[in-house]
Amino acid sequence: MAIPKTYEDFEQTLTASTPPMDWSEALKAMWFATNDNWEASHDIAQEMFNEIGSWIHAYLHRVEGDEFNAGYWYRKAGRSFPKISLKQEQKEITEYLLKN
């Protein structure tokens, strides 16, 4: 399956049992996160040693309710703690990945 061009296209993939193997690790992590599979998403994000991995990791700890840990990962990602909803941030991260 090709990489989605839009967030709406990304949403259409969520009915599959797994994300496509040829997607980036970051996009797979967000696919799992959007499908409420925190553990699978976290397993991927914690193995990504870059700013994107840190951003996803931060988001996941925010989902978990661990603001202290999330704050650490936002700092590693070079980002401030967001004031938007979790859903808005999930979409923002995914759209960023689709464009870059």
- What pLDDT does 2 receive? 84
14-36 tens-digit pLDDT? 999 999 999 999 999 999 999 99
| pLDDT over threshold 80, residue 53 | yes
pLDDT band at 13 (very low <50, low <70, confident <90, very high): very high
Closest CA relative to residue 16, chosen from 5, 26, 4, 42: 4
What CA–CA distance (Å, rounded) separates 85 from 39? 21
Mean pLDDT, the chain, integer: 96
Phi, psi angle pair for 93, to nearest 5°: -65, -45
Kindly report, residue by residue over 56-96, the tens digit of the pLDDT.
999 999 999 999 999 999 999 999 999 999 999 999 999 99
0.85 exceeded by the pTM? yes
Contact yes or no for 29/56 (Cβ under 8 A): yes
Instruction: List the structure tokens of 87.
Output: 């859903």
